[in-house]
Chains A and B, each alone.
Chain A
Amino acid sequence: MTESNDTPLLEVRNLKTTFGKGKTLVKAVDDVSFKVYPGQTVAMVGESGSGKTTVGRTLLRLIPAAGGEVIYRGVDLMSLKPREMHPYRQKMQMIFQDPASSLNPRMTVGNIVAEPLDVHLKLTRTARRKRVGELLEKSGLNPTWLNRYPHEFSGGQRQRIGIARALACDPEFIVCDEPVSALDVSIQAQILNLLDDLQKELGLSYLFVAHNLAVVEHFSDYVCVMNNGKIVEHGDRDSIYDTPQHEYTKKLLSAVPNADPKHKNLHARIK
């Protein structure tokens, strides 16, 4: 991983997201704060429904926030009007969990990858085509596949298309919303290696949302553990994995299956 600078690229302060109102009000994200430094990967872990995906979507303003601040390079994104948010969208992207539903089935791969370019850069047709080819190549795909449709690709390749789209406008920060959970294990490793290589090459910062702690252990610099919309524990990867403090973190870590059947009872499962 790249060295962290002193100034955070992104700082989330007391972020709140709610759904419904009155008696049906649900606090999906409740007073969440964390920082992401340039070139750093912050992992957001927790069980299903803990609010980790909602954090990622809220800070990109795909879901309205109920309160709090998201400071990106000194600017509070939550106070911006939609039009003022436009230039920041170029620098903040997202990779989605389900590669099948994150690609429009009626658009060619070329047009999918070029969408951010069309919105922000307005390139000439030749430059656009060249850039799409470069992006596909960078993501490990054949650049001549740009006329194909998403259904012609396997899950891993679709996720690579999603990554190519996220990289289109040279972003600085990417929310990776469980990017490997829908893929089989061998493909998971390939996608994680790709994300790692891209981070080294382009100096990207990731907010890595995951429920698989084994994946997070290999991929993150800093870990936030979420439960019921709150961050219950956060710290460096090693401190979280070696000396977990919170009961919920201990439970989560104890639930990680051991790959070696001989040692399957090495750590007792905390219920």
Chain B
Amino acid sequence: MAETEIQLNPNADSGELTPGRSLWADALRRLTRDKVAMIFFAIVMVYVLIALVPLVASWCGFNLVDWWDAARNGDFRDHGPTLQNGIEGILGYDVFGRSVLGKTILGANTSMSVGFMANIIAVPLGMLLGAIAGYYGGKVDDFIVWVYTTFACVPGIILLIAIKFAFKGVTILGVDFGGMPGLYLALAVTSWIGTCRLVRAETMRLRELDYVQAARCCGRGRFMILLKHIAPNVMHIGIINFSLGFVGAIQSEVMLSFLDIGVPAGTPSWGNMISAADKDLIAGHWWQLASAVGAMFLVVLAWNIFGDRLRDALDPKLKNAG
């Protein structure tokens, strides 16, 4: 390339030294200017708000699940979508005559929290262990590889069931691990391995690159190299795995609910709605399954597109694209 060819943005050369902008500040600036990213982020936020409604109501002493459960309409048992009762019946009724729309909205709380919480534990755990294993190498690497290989040897569902049973009745620091926290942890424990493997491999590649050697040469410590040079360059793996893991966690929740060890029975969740489909579909009652799958589809789609845009925003090479 010729020396003279780089006047990419002549407006930037005002002659003044402007303060540097960090990678995150720059990504945020580009993300907020990206309309598609903002639309799908808004969809995710609507889901988050819907998921938070039962929680806020319970803080105010109002149990939305009990209220929805009590508001049964005996005449509309297993009734398909109808406009006779206004918005309540728009997605139909379940076997007890309860609104499926209400169930879907209340289910968002459980499913979103399972998707988010399991990944908020699993993805950083996988990234941290993968980066440490890949960067330090030697015995540290051997130990981490041994740990994840051991976990990977056990079929996921068996491990999930075993952990769920092990947590039954366990309360630590006032947290009942027999309930939802135990489910988050069990899902996290079984889903960090993929992220860890990918991050480890990428870190091993990155640590040999000259910019990491340059940082070592100027006296940067190992931890700071991990933080400043490795972490930003493996972040895209975390973002992609979070998107994929979100769906995976909801799938696992469905599986556990089907086996009756997931979300406590009676709690509205998309998993419970899908697991009820085995009886419903035979009778031709499709609306409960369709509502749960539709709700899941939209949030996963929104999260995936937003995740893609976030990954692009964090890649300075795409700064001038689009």
A residues lining the B interface (CB < 8 Å) = 57, 60, 62, 85-86, 89-90, 92-94, 96-98, 101-108, 110-112, 115-116, 119-120, 125, 129-130, 133, 142-149, 151-157, 162, 165, 168-169, 187, 190
Contact = CB atoms under 8 A, between A and B. Distances in A.
B111 to A, nearest CB: 34
Given A60-B217, A89-B219, A119-B220, A102 B19 contact: no
Contact of B17 (A102, A130, A168): A130
A82 to B, nearest CB: 9
A94 B215 CA distance: 10
A255 to B, nearest CB: 27
B3 A157 contact: yes
A62 B211 contact: no
Interface string B204-248: 000001110111111110000000110011000000000000000
Nearest to A129: B17
Nearest to A111: B20
A104 B211 contact: yes
B217 A101 contact: no
B13 interface: yes
Contact of B317 (A62, A96, A149, A190): A149
B137 to A, nearest CB: 13
Nearest to B318: A151
B23 interface: yes
Given A106-B23, A115-B215, A144-B12, A154 B17 contact: no
15 contacts: A86-B219, A97-B210, A98-B210, A104-B229, A106-B23, A107-B23, A115-B218, A129-B17, A144-B12, A145-B12, A151-B317, A156-B1, A156-B3, A162-B214, A165-B214
Contact of B13 (A89, A133, A145): A145
A185 to B, nearest CB: 12
Interface in B175-215: 209-211, 213-215
Contact of B219 (A106, A120, A146, A190): A120
A108 B1 contact: no
B21 to A, nearest CB: 6
Interface string B1-17: 11101101000111111
Contact of A108 (B14, B21, B209, B218): B21
Contacts, number: 117
Contacts of A85: 219
A144 B19 contact: no
Contact of A101 (B210, B218, B319): B210
B239 to A, nearest CB: 14
B18 interface: yes
Contacts of A154: 1-3, 5-6
A154 B314 CA distance: 22
Contacts of A104: 211, 228-229, 232-233
Contact of B6 (A105, A143, A152, A165): A152
B6 A151 contact: no
Contacts of B1: 154-156
Centre residue among A104, A110, A120, A146 by max chain B CB count within 10 A? A104
Given A94-B214, A120-B219, A148-B8, 6 more contacts: A104-B211, A104-B229, A119-B220, A144-B14, A144-B18, A146-B18
Given A115-B220, A154-B3, A101 B211 contact: yes
A119 B3 contact: no
Contacts of B214: 94, 96, 102, 115, 162, 165
Nearest to A116: B218
Given A154-B3, A187-B3, A147 B20 contact: yes
